[in-house]
Structure 1
Amino acid sequence: MHVVDDHVEVTETEASSGIKGQGVRYVLAISLLLAVIILSAIWIVPALLNQ
């Protein structure tokens, strides 16, 4: 990492030094699926009970 004029330049390795795991992808997918299921149940169950 070094300063050039008024900004800092980093190498590709330094810029991507965070965790590159797949955990976030799975958490997002599972939470989206659960949200769809729960919201669908909230909408469908009362509609079925009011018939």
Structure 2
Amino acid sequence: MADNDQRVHVETDQARAGSTPGVGRYVLGASLVLIIVIFAALLLF
């Protein structure tokens, strides 16, 4: 255990303990396109 006066340096990968594949970017893009299509369909019909 580290003392309160010492800084702990941990690499980013170890601190996060996970991966970020970027899937959220594709989900948000697909959702945006889907909402625009739905709103356009509601507006036209």
Fold match, TM over 0.5? yes
- Whose strand proportion is higher, 1 or 2? 1
Which residue of the partner structure matches residue 30 of structure 2?
30
Runs (4+) of structure 1 moved beyond 2 Å?
2-5, 9-19
Q: Percent identical across equivalent pairs?
A: 27
Which residue of the partner structure matches residue 15 of structure 1?
15
Please report the TM-score for the alignment, with normalisation by the length of structure 1. Answer: 0.53
Name the aligned partner's letter for residue 20 of structure 1: T
**Greater relative contact order structure (CA < 8 Å, 6+ sep):** 1
Please report the TM-score for the alignment, with normalisation by the length of structure 2. Answer: 0.58
Please report how far the alpha carbon of residue 17 of structure 1 lies from its aligned counterpart in structure 2 after TM superposition.
3.0
Give the superposed CA RMSD: 2.4
Residue ranges of structure 1 left out of the alignment (5+ in a row): 46-51
**Residue correspondences, number:** 41
Residue ranges of structure 2 left out of the alignment (5+ in a row): none
